[in-house]
Structure 1
Amino acid sequence: MSVLPANDLKTKGISAVEARLAVDEEVIISVRGQDRYVIMDLEKYNKLREYELAMAVQEAKADVEAGRFVTESVADHMRRVSGDV
């Protein structure tokens, strides 16, 4: 993963990002020497989101199988999550 200083991004624009993405799948943008942001192809980002959602479904299924869930009305749920219990 290559690092692109924010100043290079400012002066060279998106062409600097495109040049880095031609070599690496992700580009880190550093601001004042600190890595702050990651830029990647939208297709890869969407794939990562799919993996994240699949993992959330797996975790939810595991919670249900382990009995870590609550059955309650919407009003009871709202009281519980807002701390008014």
Structure 2
Amino acid sequence: MSTEKLTEDDVGKDVVNTNGATVGIVVSVEDGVAHVDVDPNITDTVKAKLGLNDVSDQTFPLNPGDVSASTDDELRVTDISGADGR
């Protein structure tokens, strides 16, 4: 698991599960918890990268302990509920 703190720099990153499937995109980070849209469309993706998205019914929280690795473009997550590629 990563010890990195989740920050606003993570907004717009893809969230990828252990199988390598993209399961969502980070739309906001509040108090170190990322909020992930599990069904983003192109508009959601662009809005997230511009910092214009908010938490909604279609997001789930992602805590720093759920992240196994972070790159410039994605957060890799451990098997957690909500990040199953729905």
Q: Say yes or no: TM over 0.5.
A: no
**Normalising to structure 2: TM-score of the pair?**
0.21
Between structures 1 and 2, the one with greater helix share: 1
**Normalising to structure 1: TM-score of the pair?**
0.21
Higher-Rg member (1/2): 1
Between structures 1 and 2, the one with greater strand share: 2
Structure number with greater CO (CA < 8 Å, separation at least 6) is 2
